[in-house]
Structures are given as structure tokens and as C-alpha cells.
Amino acid sequence: MAIVDAIEQEGFRAIRQSIRKKAISERDAITPDVRHHFSKEIIDRLRKYLSEKRAHSIHCYISFRSEVETHEYIEHALREGLRVTVPIVEGTGETSGLAHTVISGLSDLVDGPLVIKEPRTGKPASLESLDAVIVPLVAFDRFGTRLGYGRGFYDRFLHELPRRIERIGLAFSIQEADRIPALPHDEPLDTIVTEKAIFHVPS
């Protein structure tokens, strides 16, 4: 049985890699103007949703490359008085992972180990009081399965959090897949926000 499972998972990984490659290519092909417009629509939906849920403390990725843009949202959330925590990458190679810092602004961003922008200064964050974690993704399906870049940073991070903290993925609608084969380490999303709609994953 273990051998069958291993063979099946290898097949799943090949399918996932194909979905990942296609989704990144299509996301990269969105022009900057369209990406900014779609990002604004996504963020408008996100802001309204979190306001209705009376969120006070959020964890949000700092966007890079062709991801849904979050810089303006983070600045707005801070102006509104929300407590904002962002991830930073610590370590290198197999020992690398996410640490988390509370910020007061995005004026002192520097390139992190993976050339992802992160704050130069901040203070260690307590994560227990979070209302929501806003995560980047490469592809998603409506069952809540999320594909990232393959390093497992967010799966490990989400696994450590209380399950009551909502996991929200931001994506462009072209990043949706019909079905992504799930692996045992996958941490599902609760909600996905695109420029077209908000999807809530059935529990």
C-alpha cells in the first residue's frame, strides 16, 4: 500500500507541477495595467469582506512579481488602525522558513533572501490574535486546495496556526484550476478572492 501511495503521489506532483507552470505563465502574461486594475478590484472585495467580519489583526504577504498587489492594501489597513503582520524569510536552503513581524509602514523594504521585499525593521509578532491570514498563491481550486511555489513555507506556517484563523487566498481568476490533486501536507484555504467573486470553501 505504501508503494502504491508513493507512486500515486509522484503522479500528483507531476500534475501539480504542470498546473503550477501554466498558472505562472498565464499570470505573468497579464499586462501591468490590467494586473493593477484587477488587483484593485480584488482588494476592494477583500477590504469590504474583512470590514464586515470586523477584523482587527491580519497577516498579509508583501506582493512581488506578478502576484495580486498588496502594498496599497497594507498601507490602507495600517491607516485604518489594523494590526498588520507580514512574513519574512529566515535561513537558507532546507532550513529556511517564515518568521513574522508587526509593521507600521512599508517605507523601509529591502530584498530578502528570495528577492522578496520585506521590512528592514519590525517587531516579532504574536500570531494567536490574528483574525485572518492573507496568502499568495500560484493556483487554486474551489475545494480550497492551494498551489504555491513549492517550498512549503505557507503550508508549514498555516499548520501551526489555530484553525479558527481564516485563511484567505488572493488570486486572479485565470489562476483557477478545475481540481488540484492534494498532498498530505497541503493546508486548505477557507476563502479565495478574485477580481470576479469571493469563493467560500465548504467546511
Residue 102's CB is within 10 A of a number of other CB atoms, namely 16
**127-137 pLDDT per residue, tens:** 989 999 999 99
Summarize pLDDT for 29-80 with one digit per residue, the tens.
Answer: 999 999 999 999 999 999 999 999 999 999 999 999 999 999 999 999 999 9
In this structure, which long-range contacts are made by residues 117-124, counting pairs with CB atoms below 8 Å and at least 24 apart in sequence? 117/62, 117/64, 118/62, 118/86, 118/87, 118/88, 118/89, 119/86, 119/88, 122/86, 122/88, 124/99, 124/100
pTM of the shown model: 0.93
**Domains of the chain in sequence order:** 2-200 (3.40.50.10420)
Per-residue model confidence (pLDDT) at position 1 = 39
- Is it the case that residue 3 has pLDDT exceeding 70? no
Q: Is the pLDDT of residue 109 over 70?
A: yes
